A and B are shown apart, each in its own frame.
Chain A
């Protein structure tokens, strides 16, 4: 039982990260019906920028561990958001009215470009985050000792997702995003500036992905230029599991995927961990192609 709980919490921590990355995928997909392959690379970029900033400014010494990491994440989010907007301008906007295949290929190309740009800038080797940025004392939950870091990771992910959910459900811009996701043309007729909505989506998604990148760096301690690929793919899987285009779905899918993977690694085999995620994806698409919470978006076309 104790082992089970430990795996559960482990899964939830990683699942929170999947969910954060998945939000970026799901929002872009919801509005543009485009699989933004390059999203995973923005996540990597977040992790690397976080490392660079940590080396440049002594955040944690000046602001304390929690305040320091908070400011660090905010700065990285801002920088990556700018990159997200640029990405949309260069690689996606010119293809808004092109066939789907073109947009997918462009996304793939952007992903390859960014991944190799990161490699050329930072090198192909693993980079190491400084140890002990955040205190990591074990805390007892339901009689199981959970490292504080894992709990923090989960809580921060949940807070960010809640903030996003509130933003999309309760603000004017959020309403515009939802409207554009249902029907861009109709939204335009109602006076919504769809270009603007897409821009905002390409600010929020990459920013959340970047925050996830920094958190992964702090949590695992090691980052590499290829990490965005596998994280991105799993996050996309999470988005599909939950129902793509659906924000609560992405959260649910992310957490579920994290837990499933942790359980699979614990009770089946670590080596097959990644395969489990894809097997779940295929299964979901066979049984319930719209995902768990998906109703509308996946149905179109």
Chain B
């Protein structure tokens, strides 16, 4: 058997059995958080890692999804799992409206604008916009997800729900990476001018990539709302965006295993160091600086030119 397939099967088997082997709800809860952040990380990875757009306000789209699901499920009693596509669409539409005018901005300008968008969304939520978001208290009493009349309330049930969604996410982004669309993005990231010159509509591709990432963040927001049953603006502040961004960068921008590893390190590892809770962010900041100095491609960078997307300058059979 292929070594890669073997490693993946072992990991899958281990995590599939995890709740059975270790029935400790605390650690299952930690893994649920890791899965959720891995989904968010993969969605942002599509924007930052594959397209090179510095989005430092990803929590905004996550928030739009979470609030859409929370509002619809508490007011109209719609089962929350049905709302996953609705929340994704809402986040996607919002991203489309926001990103269309700003997508052409250069890297750091885009970063600062996305921070601004994130803050505006948070302030809007805090100010109970349209009387829907419940102000700084947020929305509570969000119904638990249900599958075949079974209410998912225990950590292990949510574990399989969120884990299942993570698998779908991995599959989706893996396929997208290999697709024509993914290869075009790769090309744009390598050399935008050349991509433009060879007839790729770079603005359209960037916008599409941004929206896809936002849609996925919105869907993750639904899972978050379902898991917590309470959401408030505090969960979607700037540091949340930074955490997701750091997961992508430290793990390895553009690499699916890298992003998952990033989620494990930045969300899981701190749980082992609970005693140093106050100093956690200090190490986190220092790690970001040191990583950039010594290993700026992340811990598990993508394997370059694994798939023949970008033809080399001379020769090559693309």
Chain A residues in contact with chain B, CB under 8 A? Answer: 33-35, 90-91, 94-95, 98-106, 108-117, 119-120, 229, 233, 236-237, 240, 269, 271-272, 274-275, 278-279, 281-282, 285-286, 289, 298, 301
Partner of B292, one of A35, A95, A111, A278: A95
The reply to whether B278 and A120 contact each other, CB–CB distance below 8 Å, is yes
A44 to chain B, nearest CB (A): 14
Partner of B102, one of A117, A272, A286: A286
Most chain A CB inside 10 Å of its own CB: which residue of B107, B116, B123, B124: B116
Can you report 23 residue pairs joining A to B where beta carbons are below 8 Å apart? Answer: A35-B108, A90-B289, A95-B292, A95-B296, A98-B292, A101-B107, A102-B296, A103-B292, A109-B284, A109-B289, A111-B285, A112-B242, A112-B285, A117-B282, A120-B282, A233-B112, A274-B123, A275-B123, A278-B116, A278-B117, A279-B116, A285-B109, A298-B109
B37 to chain A, nearest CB (A): 17
Closest B residue to A239 using CB positions? B112
Partner of B113, one of A112, A115, A285: A285
Counting contact residues on chain B (CB < 8 A from A), the size range is 35 or more
* C-alpha spacing A99/B253, complex, angstroms: 13
The reply to whether B281 and A116 contact each other, CB–CB distance below 8 Å, is yes
* C-alpha spacing A74/B282, complex, angstroms: 29
B262 to chain A, nearest CB (A): 12
Chain A contacts for B300, CB-based, 8 A: none
* C-alpha spacing A271/B126, complex, angstroms: 9
A134 to chain B, nearest CB (A): 32
Q: Is B168 an interface residue (CB 8 A)?
A: no
Chain B contacts for A275, CB-based, 8 A: 119-120, 123-124
Q: Is B293 an interface residue (CB 8 A)?
A: yes
9 closest A-B pairs (Cβ-Cβ)? A109-B288, A113-B285, A112-B285, A278-B116, A109-B289, A106-B292, A102-B296, A116-B282, A116-B281
The reply to whether B281 and A112 contact each other, CB–CB distance below 8 Å, is yes
Q: Is B75 an interface residue (CB 8 A)?
A: no
Closest A residue to B253 using CB positions? A101
Chain B 103-140 per-residue mask, 1 if CB under 8 angstroms from chain A, else 0:
00111110111011101100110110000000000000
The reply to whether B289 and A278 contact each other, CB–CB distance below 8 Å, is no
Partner of A274, one of B119, B253, B287: B119
Closest B residue to A278 using CB positions? B116
* C-alpha spacing A90/B289, complex, angstroms: 9
Chain B residues in contact with chain A, CB under 8 A? Answer: 52, 54, 101-102, 105-109, 111-113, 115-117, 119-120, 123-124, 126-127, 238, 242, 245-246, 249, 253, 278-279, 281-282, 284-289, 291-293, 296
Closest B residue to A279 using CB positions? B120
* C-alpha spacing A131/B293, complex, angstroms: 44
The DSSP consensus for interface residues of chain A is: helix
B289 to chain A, nearest CB (A): 4
Chain A contacts for B245, CB-based, 8 A: 105, 108
The reply to whether B106 and A109 contact each other, CB–CB distance below 8 Å, is no
A254 to chain B, nearest CB (A): 16
Q: A106-B292, A112-B242, A286-B102 are in contact. Are A237 and B112 (CB under 8 A)?
A: yes
Most chain B CB inside 10 Å of its own CB: which residue of A95, A105, A240, A269: A105
Chain A contacts for B296, CB-based, 8 A: 95, 98-99, 101-102, 105
Chain B contacts for A298, CB-based, 8 A: 109
* C-alpha spacing A102/B285, complex, angstroms: 13
* C-alpha spacing A112/B123, complex, angstroms: 22
The reply to whether A240 and B119 contact each other, CB–CB distance below 8 Å, is no
Chain B contacts for A100, CB-based, 8 A: 107-108
Chain B contacts for A90, CB-based, 8 A: 289
The reply to whether A289 and B112 contact each other, CB–CB distance below 8 Å, is no
The reply to whether A106 and B289 contact each other, CB–CB distance below 8 Å, is yes
* C-alpha spacing A286/B246, complex, angstroms: 28
Q: A95-B293, A110-B285 are in contact. Are A104 and B111 (CB under 8 A)?
A: yes
Q: A100-B107, A101-B54, A119-B278 are in contact. Are A286 and B101 (CB under 8 A)?
A: yes
Partner of A105, one of B109, B117, B278, B292: B292
B190 to chain A, nearest CB (A): 12
The reply to whether B284 and A112 contact each other, CB–CB distance below 8 Å, is yes
Closest A residue to B112 using CB positions? A236
